[in-house]
Amino acid sequence: MHKLVVLASGSGSNFQSIINSVKDGTIKGASIEALIAGKSGIEAIERAKKNEIPVYTLGAEFESELIEILDELNPDLIILAGFLKKIPSEIIDKYPNKIINIHPSLLPKYGGKNFYGMKVHQAVIEAGDDVSGCTVHYVNEIYDAGKIIDQVTVPVKADDTPETLSKRILKQEHQLYPKVIQKLLNNKN
Ligand code: GRF
């Protein structure tokens, strides 16, 4: 059984799509060992509780806490799903090719420290791009700059707002992330 750990700081809709995929067999032979929450009071925690997934909530000493929790869980795959804190380099070194992230743009476009949430979609619309999308990539020391694993393109419509574009992309994220996770687990066999 492959051990998955999900890290989230927000609504956790990608986390939910991973939960659903483990349940319906889109992701096979895996269990979600824990949710590591970037802060308390987030919807992702409610989703974990509903599904009886253990929750660890990070506090002020988040770097050392994270190292300790991951040491204890020893996951096969560390899945960032809307996790806003920077992963310490000690963890990146310890888990080579085991940490992945999803980002709501066609990286390398609109990635990096200042591109998160609606800011990504705002920038795409301001630039007048007619396509955007989402990207799953490995995590390295630089925000959104690790090796790209897979991407899906999504059209940008003339009357899109950041919110409408974000919704359209999020739908694709929910398909792409489980698919990539399954592919990576297949390669581990
Ligand atoms: C997604 O758009 C993801 O690409 C980005 O953060 C958002 C998380 O959304 N990294 P959710 O918490 O999964 O709903």
Annotated catalytic residue 103? yes
Query: Which one, of 117, 102, 75, lies nearest residue 172 by Cα?
Result: 102
Predicted model pTM: 0.97
Q: What would the CATH number be for the domain defined by 2-188? A: 3.40.50.170
pLDDT tens-digit readout, 11-55: 999 999 999 999 999 999 999 999 999 999 999 999 999 999 999
**Which of 7, 13, 14 maximizes ligand 1 atoms within 8 Å of its Cβ, making it the mutation to test the pocket?**
14
Residue 189 has pLDDT above 70, yes or no: no
The verdict on the CB of residue 10 being under 6 Å from ligand 1 is yes
The verdict on the CB of residue 152 being under 6 Å from ligand 1 is no
| Domain layout of the chain by residue ranges | 2-188
pLDDT tens-digit readout, 116-159: 999 999 999 999 999 999 999 999 988 899 999 999 999 999 99
User: Vertex 5, ends 95 and 177: CA angle to 5°?
Assistant: 95
